[in-house]
């Protein structure tokens, strides 16, 4: 597959940032044998940034990192590779799924490892399930090293305090968390499903996990309980 998407808004620490995605190569492969299904997806894409949408905070951060000689901090000529591999077992009673995700790029902000494993069992219209997942940014240690570089920048009354800027950079960029899920689904109609879920999230390695840095560090925590009630409808 090939294709493009213009003006995609990124929902992360820099909300409002818009990027264009040009898929240079996309491969999707699915194989089914009996109760087993295997799937593989791989995308290689260019992601030019709409510089007009870059928040001032991000622009300042990128400029500072470039001054420190961090060459792969620029969003110019951004290239991303996305791969995921999945395996499913479904015999009509048991449903077992596992999937892994790997995202790599030529800048330090987008290198993610993630996976999940889930087990569910059907009882008529009911389907209770458990799931475990994990995600980590592979550059966490490097972010901390860059934070030390920022902290050693000579103080300048015209610039933010180096120690505070260093702490803010590390807090904003480091990500690692594990989640455990317990839930139940109910088939209300053939095309409508209700789902109730409890998710227990453990924030790891002195990071913010995938939570907003501003909200997380206003009231830090090591774990969170998330409860949700969902209606899924297919038209």
Most confident of the following: 77-81, 123-127, 216-220: 123-127
Distance CA 133, CA 181 (A): 8
Question: In the chain, what are the domain boundaries?
Answer: 111-233
Q: What is the 3-state secondary structure (H, E, C) of the chain?
A: CCEEEEEEECCCCCCCCEEEEEEEEEEEEEEEECCEEEEEEEEEEECCECHHHCCHHHHHHHHHHHHCCCHHHCCCCCEEEEEEEEEEEECCCEEEEEEEEEEEECCCCCCEEEEEEEEEECECCEEEEEEEEEEEECCHHHHHHHHHHHHCCCCCCCCCCHHHHHHHHHHHHCCEEEEEEEEEEEEEECCEEEEEEEEEEEECCCCCCCCCHHHHHHCCCCEEEEEEEEEEECC
What per-residue confidence (pLDDT) applies to 202? 94
User: Which tokens belong to 184?
Assistant: 């139940």
pLDDT tens string 78-87: 888 999 999 9
User: Model confidence at 16, in pLDDT bands (50, 70, 90)?
Assistant: low
The overall pTM is greater than 0.75: yes
User: Model confidence at 159, in pLDDT bands (50, 70, 90)?
Assistant: low
CATH topology of domain 111-233: Porin (2.40.160)
């Amino acid at each position: 597959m090939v294709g493009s998407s213009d003006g995609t808004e990124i929902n992360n620490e820099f909300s409002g940032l818009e990027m264009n995605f040009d898929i240079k190569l996309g491969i999707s492969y699915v194989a089914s044998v009996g109760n087993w299904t295997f799937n593989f997806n791989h995308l290689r894409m260019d992601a030019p940034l709409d510089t007009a949408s870059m928040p001032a905070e991000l622009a300042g951060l990128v400029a500072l990192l470039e001054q420190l000689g961090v060459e792969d901090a620029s969003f110019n000529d951004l290239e991303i590779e996305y791969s995921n591999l999945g395996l499913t077992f479904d015999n009509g009673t048991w449903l077992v799924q596992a999937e892994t995700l790997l995202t790599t790029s030529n800048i330090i902000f987008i290198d993610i490892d993630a996976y999940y494993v889930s087990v569910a069992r059907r009882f008529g219209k009911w389907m209770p399930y458990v799931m475990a997942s994990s995600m980590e940014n592979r550059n966490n240690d490097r972010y901390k090293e860059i934070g030390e570089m920022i902290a050693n920048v000579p103080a300048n009354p015209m610039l933010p305090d180096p120690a505070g800027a260093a702490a803010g950079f590390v807090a904003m960029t480091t990500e690692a968390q594990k989640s455990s899920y317990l839930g139940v689904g109910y088939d209300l109609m053939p095309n409508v499903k209700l789902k109730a879920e409890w998710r227990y999230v453990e924030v790891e390695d002195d990071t913010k996990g995938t939570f907003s840095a501003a909200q997380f560090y206003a009231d830090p925590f090591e774990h969170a309980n998330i409860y949700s009630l969902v209606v899924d409808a297919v038209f």
